[in-house]
Amino acid sequence: MDRFVKKIKLSNDVDANVNDNNLNLEINIKQSTSISDTSLNLKVKRKYTDGYLCFGFTWNGDTDCPLPVCIVCGEKLSNEAMVPSKLKRHLTTKHPGESLKTRLYFERLLNSNKRAASSMIKRVTISDKALEASFKVAELIAKNMNSHVIGEKLIGPACLIMVETLLGKESKDVISKVPLSNNTISRRINEMANDINDIVLEKIKNQKLFSLQIDESTDRTSKAQLLGFCRFVDNSNIVEQFLFCKELKSTTTGKDIFDVVNIFFEKSGLSWNYCCGVCTDGAPSMTGKYKGFVTLAKIKNPAMIITHCFIHREALVAKTLGEKMLKVLNDVIKIVNYIKSRPLKTRIFETICKEMGSDHIHLLLHTEVRWLSRGQVFNRVIELKEELELFFEKENLPVYKNFFRSENWCYILAYLADVFKKLNDLNASMQGRQETIISSTNKIRGFKNKIVFWKSSIIKGDFSNFPTFSKLTIGKYNIKELQQLIIEHLTLLEEKIEHYFPSLTTSADWVVLPFDFTDNMNELDLTNEEKNEFIDMCSSSTIRILFNSQKSNIDSFWLNLASEYPSISRKAILLLLPFSTSYLCEQAFSALNNIKTSSRNRLKNVEPDLCLAVSTVSPRIEELCKKYQSQISH
């Protein structure tokens, strides 16, 4: 039976002699074997040697188990094929034209392949950088509210010219690989806007509490756009961010607005239960008693704070004028419109202003919808009073010229310029970010107290609170009649403030001045648990030191106390989160007009561009680049 059995001799070293084109090579191949107890299994891990380069093979893979790779075609064989006979058979059968080539030929071919691979890696690297640059350029375009085609038509060519001029043609070829087409920029802006939205929503869900600022207006194409901003806690600060811009397809009733916001909440995973405040303007669709947006929102969360924009209410107060003062306002509007509505008259008036060395050469138009319009118009007319009088004298218009020669008219104009400057200063102080209900209430209350002081001064004959008016010399016009006219107007302003701001209480001042209310606990609208925490907090000397060091950032002060005094801290945050004005929405509408210009009126979706333009959150560009395969411009 033994003669039929083929015996296999196992050894660790096998010597092989290969003769190829009179070239003798000695190849040492180490083999390892493993034999199981039940059967004989031969497993050989063959090693690569430099001699295999004569057959046109290099290696790839793990060093313990290398795989032969053909230099000519790039085919990868198994480890078992790492023997001279199999490598030579591959070369002669698949590449007969290279079978007679020498080792030097294959070395040159291998080096050439390595250089090509290195070039490809470099090209891919440039492509990755070009993708990142494309995102950053798209972000820059959106933040500056430019058209998407500006990348392809202006930014790209300008960069090529500058780089070629300064760095040479090679650098120009690199810059030209950045994709900046119209469609590419649009996609980049959409992706970054979605990323910003994800970041904001994630932060809101982590902290839960937030407040809303909602406003609706029409764009250049008469489409109704609903804007929303949110305020929430981010780490140790309270921040404000853009939330959405949605088009109202047909009607703009309170229910339509509520449905849009409610659908956005459902898709985004936000809950009305955590919405602690909503700020809107005074439009019926927003504040309607039965079907207004805030009424429907109150059904979802009765505890939320509803705020009518302080700036809008202050603008309504500023419209309060008596009969005589209203006549002067109308006269000023006629004067301005006569010049501004006629290009020839505008140029003539501009020439007069230049000849007289005036600081200004143009009048300002009065616009009802602009908060600061009246005060700016009055002040400009006062500054150009002499120029206007000379202009109407040359134009031979005695009706307009006599306005400036009437003491009565000039006194009222000077007073209006002063009082509207004060109203404008109040209005401007409530504009901007981080304005809270507490700070706005204090400013309105302070202005109301000023009116009382001004009235008492006017009664005493002291007009120094109105500098423009006090510079005029009181002539034939009865000073008592002037006093009575001004007092009547200031009284009317005071009544309107009472009407539009019915609750100017100090019940929330403990948030900004906590240590001033330790002796007046009964005045605070707090529960017993909150009062106990408030007393403990005010009794701590370390808390007092912390408050003195963070007076400029009251948000951080209360947020840092959340773990030690959770109840009173939460109460303070609920008072700091609600918006007091719709300033951010008004600012965004101005940005919307810059984005959707007359030349871009067919822009269908403005939300991504607006998001990048007004948001303070930066998109995660590096993360976005990882999601896409790099495609260089060609």
Specify the pLDDT at position 141. Answer: 94
Phi and psi for 31 in degrees, rounded to 5? -125, 140
Kindly tell me if the per-residue pLDDT of 433 is higher than 90: no
Q: Find out whether 236 and 226 touch, Cβ atoms under 8 Å.
A: no
Looking at residue 309, its pLDDT comes to 92
Q: Which residues contact 284 (CB under 8 A, 6 or more apart)?
A: 254, 292
In this structure, are residues 95 and 72 in contact, taking their beta carbons and an 8 Å threshold?
A: yes
pLDDT band at 445 (very low <50, low <70, confident <90, very high): very high
pLDDT at 367: 77
- Asked if residues 537 and 529 have their Cβ atoms less than 8 Å apart, the reply is no
The residue extents of the domains of the chain are 50-123, 125-306+592-633, 317-500, 509-577
Over the stretch 453-491, which tens digit does the pLDDT of each residue have?
Answer: 999 999 888 888 998 888 876 655 567 888 888 999 999
What integer is the mean pLDDT of 6-14? 41
The predicted structure's pLDDT at residue 324 = 86
Q: Given a cut of 70, is residue 40 above it in pLDDT?
A: no
Residue-level pLDDT at 261: 94
Phi and psi at 412, nearest 5°, equal -65, -40
Among the residue ranges 58-62, 307-311, 512-516, 582-586, the one predicted with the least confidence is: 58-62
Residue 328 has pLDDT above 70, yes or no: yes
Of the ranges 29-33, 358-362, 467-471, 527-531, which one carries the lowest mean pLDDT score?
29-33
- The two three-digit tokens of residue 596, written as one number: 């959707």
Task: Using CA atoms of 15, 101, 70, 24 in order, give the dihedral in degrees to the nearest 10.
Answer: 10
The single residue listed with the structure tokens 């339509």 is 256
When mean pLDDT is compared across 23-27, 198-202, 267-271, 578-582, the lowest value belongs to 23-27
pLDDT at 203 over 60: yes
Residue in the block written with tokens 């439009």: 283
Can you say whether residue 455 is alpha, beta or left, with left for phi > 0 and alpha for psi between -120 and 50 degrees?
alpha
| Per-residue model confidence (pLDDT) at position 583 | 92
pLDDT of residue 516: 81
Mean residue pLDDT across the chain: 83
Is the distance from CB of 293 to CB of 286 less than 8 angstroms?
yes
Note the pLDDT of residue 114: 74
Does residue 4 or residue 136 have the better pLDDT?
Answer: 136
Q: How far apart are CA 433 and CA 339, in angstroms?
A: 37
Res. 1: pLDDT tops 70 = no
Residue 39 has pLDDT above 50, yes or no: no
Give residue 477's pLDDT.
55
286, 252 in Cβ contact below 8 A? no
pLDDT of residue 283 exceeding 90, the answer is no
Q: 16: Cβ–Cβ under 8 A, 6 or more apart, which residues? A: 26, 27, 29, 84
Give pLDDT, residue 607: 93
How much of the chain exceeds pLDDT 90, in percent?
36
pLDDT of res. 269? 92
Helix H or strand E encompassing 308:
strand 305-308
pLDDT at res. 145: 92
More confident residue, 578 or 97: 578
Q: Which two tokens stand for residue 377?
A: 């118009």
Amino acid 6: pLDDT: 47
Residue type, 89: R
Q: Taking residues 410-430, what's their average pLDDT?
A: 90
Chain segment 241-252, per-residue pLDDT in tens: 999 999 998 889
| Residue 120 confidence class, pLDDT cut points 50, 70, 90 | low
